[in-house]
Amino acid sequence: MVDRLEKLRKSFTKMSDDSLIAYVTDLRKDRMTSKHQDKQKKKTQKNIMDKLEDKLAGMDPEALRKLLS
């Protein structure tokens, strides 16, 4: 871990200011995109679960027992 950090520090000190700014900007975009995708995934999973719960709640109790057995 320390070796990786040392390598990163050395590569950052060799980068020009513009390259370093571009690198950090790209990292930030990737992180923000990842957060957005995670949020969308959770929202989709919640919607699926809500629909499933609605279907199960509307089922005939006997059919529900058969399904779950």
Three-state secondary structure string covering 2-33: HHHHHHHHHHHHHCCHHHHHHHHHHHHHHHHH
pLDDT for the residue 42: 92
pLDDT for the residue 48: 93
| Cα distance between residue 40 and residue 56, in whole Å | 24
For residue 60, is pLDDT > 90? no
Residue 30 tokens read as 């990737």
| Cα distance between residue 26 and residue 32, in whole Å | 10
The full set of domain ranges for the chain reads 17-68
pLDDT for the residue 1: 65
For residue 5, is pLDDT > 80? no
| Cα distance between residue 30 and residue 37, in whole Å | 10
For residue 21, is pLDDT > 70? yes
pLDDT digits (tens, 9 = 90+) for 31-57: 888 888 889 999 999 999 999 888 888
